[in-house]
Amino acid sequence: MSAPSVRSPAALLSGLASLDDVEVENQRVLLRADLDAPLNKQGEIVDDSAIRRVAPTVRRLVEAGARVIVASRFGVARRSDKTPPSIEPAAARLGELTDLEVYLPDDCVGDSVKKVISDLRDGQICVLENLARGPEDGRADEAFARALMAYCDVFVNDALSSCERESATTTILPRLLEQRVAGPNLLAELEAVLRILNPTGPFTIVLGGSRLTDKIDVLHTLLPRCQQLCAAGVPGNTMVRARGGAMGTSVVEESYLAGARTLMDQAFGRLLLPEDFVVATSVKAASGRVAPAGELDPVEGAVDLGPRAREAFQEQIARAGTVLWWGTIGFHKNPAFAEGTRAVVEALADSSAFTMVVGDDSVAAARQVCPERVGDIDHLAGGGSATLALLAGKKLPGLEALRGMGHD
């Protein structure tokens, strides 16, 4: 596999200004943020990590004398006919984390918004109502963007996750303003991506998750740069099956066995497959047994890495200069089958290499299984599929819209 054309470090950051390049004192700053957070049935936030990421940016702007207006999408409707929730829970949590008074108008544009912004005083911020509640943002409505433009002097995008698709707030509004910059969280995501695209060797990828086919575009970019590919989860199951192993009831992409064999050939000499698995007849079982890879009984499925596999993965991580983990390892939500995840998190935390975890499920697994160690991992990606798109060498519309401040 030959390396595809990928942005150089200079190209990925080219034309992007930062908060250090603008004066925000007494300016109205519209901060495009990611305040998304899952809610329980009582409407309470159960994971505020995205809000925690943006809180320091809000504090920095307020302390610099800016009048801050935060805009974000929030919540995913379970049915297409269900109205997305109010952003109020996220706004309240942001106020708690920043120790600021939050004003929440009932819309994103209009007289009520204008009044709230004009009345902002020291220690106060405005959080606009959920962008997802109307169609204007998602369909990149220019009139909506121009209405928002009337409320701001400076545009800051601090959410890489918002950059993947065109929208009024990420691709139209920034081009209407001379002062548009990338926020510190967005820049941190880009810098982490650059360290993966230009790794200090040896470069190890720990691959897991529920589908191998979804990872091919990124692997096409990264495999030529990689010295070791450790495959777990469904990718590992599928590769063991592709070489003729018996995988019982394990989740395997049977339709992709030929593609898995091709990938295994391309990674020849650099591929580490599990030597053993923890297997069980149900993912809800209280325990499992250890079985050699490819020798599973017909009624059993792989639910976690076995002890020899865990040790081998840890050894490869310890030898690396750069490590990327992408995709969950086993059925970690059952504590009986979380040891593979724990082994990877601990190895990443102990490593002197640059370590990065991508994929929302992987980041959530790390936080759930080893909350006391995740702080020792260098970067937990917050960009979701946008981070993966950059790793695949793709351009992001919202990122392109930020380039060239002062050159329109």
pLDDT at 312: 99
Query: How many C-beta neighbours within 10 Å does residue 249 have?
Result: 16
Q: Determine how many CB atoms are found less than 10 A away from the CB of residue 284.
A: 12
Under 8 Å between Cβ of 89 and 53: no
Enter the tokens of residue 206: 């720990």
What six digits make up the tokens of 35? 């305040």
Q: Which domains does the chain have, with CATH numbers?
A: 19-182 (3.40.50.1260), 190-391 (3.40.50.1260)
DSSP letter assigned to residue 208: -
Lookup: tokens for 215: 């990872």
Q: Return the C-alpha torsion angle 225, 231, 232, 233, nearest 10.
A: 80
**Residue range 290-341, pLDDT digits in tens:** 999 999 999 999 999 999 999 999 999 999 999 999 999 999 999 999 999 9
* Cα angle: 187, vertex 191, 195; to 5 degrees: 170
User: What is the per-residue pLDDT across 94-152, written as a single tens digit (0 to 9) for each?
Assistant: 999 999 999 999 999 999 999 999 999 989 999 999 999 999 999 999 999 999 999 99
Q: Above 50 in pLDDT, residue 5?
A: no
pLDDT digits (tens, 9 = 90+) for 38-83: 999 888 999 999 999 999 999 999 999 999 999 999 986 544 557 8
Task: Give the phi and the psi of residue 270 in degrees, each rounded to 5.
Answer: -125, 5
Q: What pLDDT was estimated at residue 1?
A: 39
Ordered alpha helix ranges (H), 119-183: 142-149, 173-176
pLDDT cut 70: percent of the chain above it: 95
DSSP secondary structure letter of residue 69:
E
Average pLDDT of the chain to the nearest whole number: 94
- Mean pLDDT, residues 24-33: 97
